[in-house]
Structure 1
């Protein structure tokens, strides 16, 4: 019977495409369902590397990829939110977490794939609540994974009969390094060790010429499994290009971990083969080899992690030696936290955007301090600093809004997170408005210095009072945003009302001084405009507080204030 190899090739590639799509879809669904909890998981990080390994494993299970987890970690290291030892411990754990899918395949969960597809479809299409639709997407994608595996299995029966395939795996048994190279290249190509292992499990489950053995055999499968762990590091390497030294070191640690583990295990292939067979179910090889491959993949990463865990400090020293710190400090006008590599993980991208907004708010706070000094102390240098900082604030605000807008384009964004992103975009504008008000006051300060204007002591004291209120409100705003502190946010509303009353009181007092002729009329416009601009700084702080407290944006989606706090 003549085989249509074009049809075989297309079916194999198509089923692999469905597998990768299903895996990404399941990852999206898991992130939408559990994404808000992932920030809490990361908050467990301590100096204890074992906790880091557990966090890495859990994160990889949700993201369905050790590569995606490593890329996320590189982003956090680049932003200075995670140190190198913490990052390495998470990477070690991610390698374990990514083996879960292979175990599910081995347990033949695919026998029930149509149940998963049907239930997932019903939940995703017909349920109203977002949590149910996200769960439906995850379940549907789970079924899709096994549908692709079943299709792949039928194709593998044809491929397994090829003499060239049988000869190739015989060569791998004799020269294991061929298997390592093959596994690494295929994984680097498809950008997924899980997909590579799934293909290997399907092929290995085909019966060999003797009707009993697997066409692959466990001894030939092991080097390929080791190679997939090397190939999966390519994603992290690409993500670290152009990143700070510590990010490159994290990627290097990932490579060293997997390459060294492979090198060690290659000396014990026969022993490891017997060990895997011992811990796996008994039976005909082609019937149990999928379980053996899943176990070999999992225990390779577990044992490798246990070997490296006590020596993370040494691994840190090695990567620091290999990649010396040649980083030049980022310019103040450059974003320090925004990382487009993790834009597909909105819960983390939102966290980074919030950190950048806090940094912009710190610049705005400095502008208030400088413009206060410029006006009250007639300091021309302080005026220059205000204008210089304004350029920084404008650039950072533009970049952050662009980054936040990019998050909207991700398929993994929940409606909850969409509301948060929308609120952060408004907050970015409000922070920028604080800078604009400072510029207005700086222009008055420049005019005052050039014309030699002298305000009365009482007027200067009143303006000083206003500035102090604005500084206090801005500091409270930064804390409220940073900590999601609802009490501080509510206090800001009270402070803003007080600021309004102060403006009205000072205007009345100024008019009284005009009547008493204790103040010059030519300064009236400048005085009232300065006080009004300071009051507008308070308005911006109030709007940011309202974004933190906002019931309109988050209540409709059943998000409590506590959940919003956790999200940012």
Structure 2
């Protein structure tokens, strides 16, 4: 199985990625892609891990990948049919030995990776069926002296034990098809009842989730959600199949009787494996939406939890005053994110990753706040409340400006590096320190918040900015700095200055909203002044 699977994956090359990327735009296409690709590479685990990788890198959405996973479970039944039909319906060595020979020749003498990989897959395919032939002959001799039924406990307890055995074997062998081949051979040789074999097959389905769980460790939240959906699907499908086990086997016998074909143990197991996987997909059709919603509420990263609104409750929309209170509380969270951006951008060692994380969370929250404001505005809102709504949106715009300026600033600071001279470094540090101080005093949720302190620190920042600007211009004029570097450092200072000013404006307006005062007058410059070029 490993030779076959690894060879097919290598031979497929980019085709596996291309099929997944281009063929999953709808649930039906995702399901079909999962079935087709798993049938081609003969490994549902490979498709599952590839899907987790694509979701992890953002190439595939969770919604589309979900159906690829469901389809891969159906596609995994193809190998069982090959084992059941070829392994027990024809003289194996008549076709297996030539296939091994051709595959070995290609593997050793083939030109190019694809051709050698195809040879490996052919050799693995032939050796797989030769192994089944050896198992058949060995089990036929053992069967006369050994009755596995004596080791199987009766009732549901025995079935659960067999499911556990199938799960453990699959985890250890990392190839569910190989385990199913063993089970089919044992059942065909009379060493195991059909019911016991089918119970072990259910366990092999559950065992395939182990690799997906390992692949999702340390991955993004969506990748972990996809792995969880794989586990959920296989557990639910396995539980339903176990409950319906006797009935499904009886129904399959009736179907085979209608077709006038003898019902061998191998074909019964193959039919059962296909039937309960298809049944699982049918169960997921109405449940997929709810499953996605449930997954969306779990496996969150700290960043996602930070970006999720906490106070915007749809039940308050009918009461505009309550809705605006909820909006004000959410604006407190966005203000905290804006302050964190400013603090990390102005620190002695700017933290670009933290700024980008908080800016992304602020952007996501701003989208939710904007949508909530639109829903408030759709109702009949009194004039006074409409003014508060407009001012709240103004505050949000200030906060987004802070995040944008800080993102540009930390990226530019990383490119420029430290100041080349001590006097300039001292002036830059004093300016940045004043920006940090403002991030501390502009928290209008703090008990000691005072708008007057914001104005005092803002004036100090302006004085430090003027000193830094004068120093940079002087260094450029006296050739202590290149003109290009001088311009870039001035732009960095301007970005931080604007972030501080926007932070102060947001704090003043939030304080006025809390006190139900008129909007404070802002200094010239406006709310939507463009970012510096670059």
1:146 and 2:122 matched:
no
Measure the CA separation in 2 of the matches of 1:200 and 1:238: 26
Query: Are the aligned partners of 1:33 and 1:134 in contact in 2 as well (CA < 8 Å)?
Result: yes
Query: Are the aligned partners of 1:159 and 1:165 in contact in 2 as well (CA < 8 Å)?
Result: no
Pick from 393, 413, 435 the counterpart of residue 384 of structure 1: 413
Q: Secondary structure at the match of 2:59?
A: coil
Measure the CA separation in 2 of the matches of 1:60 and 1:75: 16
Q: What displacement does 1:382 show?
A: 7.8
1:424-451 Cα deviation digits (max 9, x unpaired): xxxxxxxxxxxxxxxxxxxxxxx98673
Pick from 238, 246, 266 the counterpart of residue 290 of structure 1: 266
1:114 and 2:90 matched:
no
Bigger relative CO (Cα 8 Å, ≥ 6 apart): 1
1:259 and 2:214 matched:
no
Map of 1:200-239 to 2, 5 A cutoff? 200-206=183-189, 214-239=190-215
Query: Are the aligned partners of 1:77 and 1:83 in contact in 2 as well (CA < 8 Å)?
Result: yes
1:511 match: none
Q: Secondary structure at the match of 1:225?
A: helix
1:487-536 Cα deviation digits (max 9, x unpaired): xxxxxxxxxxxxxxxxxxxxxxxxxxxxxxxxxxxxxxxxxxxxxxxxxx
1:334-375 Cα deviation digits (max 9, x unpaired): 9x9xxxxxxxxxxxxxxxxxxxxxxxxxxxxxxxxxxxxxxx
Measure the CA separation in 2 of the matches of 1:26 and 1:315: 34
Query: Are the aligned partners of 2:170 and 2:207 in contact in 1 as well (CA < 8 Å)?
Result: yes
Query: Are the aligned partners of 1:24 and 1:64 in contact in 2 as well (CA < 8 Å)?
Result: no
Query: Are the aligned partners of 1:55 and 1:93 in contact in 2 as well (CA < 8 Å)?
Result: yes
Q: What displacement does 1:381 show?
A: 8.2
1:192 and 2:175 matched:
yes
Measure the CA separation in 1 of the matches of 2:417 and 2:59: 27
Q: What displacement does 1:28 show?
A: 2.7
Structure 1 residues 326 and 282, CA, compared in 2 at 3 Å: closer, same or farther?
farther
Pick from 175, 183, 199 the counterpart of residue 166 of structure 2: 183
Q: What displacement does 1:387 show?
A: 4.1
1:119-138 Cα deviation digits (max 9, x unpaired): 22233333435544333222
Measure the CA separation in 1 of the matches of 2:84 and 2:63: 34
Pick from 469, 476, 490 the counterpart of residue 452 of structure 1: 476
Q: What displacement does 1:70 show?
A: 1.5
TM-score between both structures, scaled by the size of structure 2: 0.55
Measure the CA separation in 1 of the matches of 2:33 and 2:221: 23
Measure the CA separation in 2 of the matches of 1:243 and 1:333: 18
Measure the CA separation in 1 of the matches of 2:409 and 2:302: 37
1:302 match: 278
Query: Are the aligned partners of 2:170 and 2:179 in contact in 1 as well (CA < 8 Å)?
Result: yes
Query: Are the aligned partners of 1:45 and 1:55 in contact in 2 as well (CA < 8 Å)?
Result: yes
Structure 1 residues 103 and 388, CA, compared in 2 at 3 Å: closer, same or farther?
farther
Query: Which stretch of structure 1 is more off in the superposition, 28-37 or 253-262?
Result: 28-37
Q: Secondary structure at the match of 1:294?
A: helix
Q: Secondary structure at the match of 2:477?
A: coil
Larger radius of gyration: 2
Measure the CA separation in 2 of the matches of 1:313 and 1:85: 9
Unaligned runs of 5+ in 1: 1-22, 207-213, 337-378, 390-446, 465-568
Pick from 5, 8, 20 the counterpart of residue 42 of structure 1: 20
1:249 and 2:233 matched:
no
Pick from 80, 99, 108 the counterpart of residue 102 of structure 1: 80
Pick from 152, 160, 167 the counterpart of residue 150 of structure 2: 167
TM-score between both structures, scaled by the size of structure 1: 0.52
Measure the CA separation in 2 of the matches of 1:380 and 1:197: 59
Q: Secondary structure at the match of 1:107?
A: helix
Measure the CA separation in 1 of the matches of 2:295 and 2:66: 11
Structure 1 residues 164 and 320, CA, compared in 2 at 3 Å: closer, same or farther?
farther
Query: Are the aligned partners of 1:160 and 1:166 in contact in 2 as well (CA < 8 Å)?
Result: no
Measure the CA separation in 2 of the matches of 1:36 and 1:66: 17
2:139 match: 156
Unaligned runs of 5+ in 2: 307-350, 357-407, 419-470, 489-534
Measure the CA separation in 2 of the matches of 1:233 and 1:200: 19
1:218-270 Cα deviation digits (max 9, x unpaired): 22222221121111111111221222222221111111111111222223222
Query: Are the aligned partners of 1:96 and 1:298 in contact in 2 as well (CA < 8 Å)?
Result: yes
1:123 match: 106
Query: Are the aligned partners of 1:45 and 1:86 in contact in 2 as well (CA < 8 Å)?
Result: no
Measure the CA separation in 1 of the matches of 2:37 and 2:473: 58
1:364-421 Cα deviation digits (max 9, x unpaired): xxxxxxxxxxxxxxx99886331469xxxxxxxxxxxxxxxxxxxxxxxxxxxxxxxx
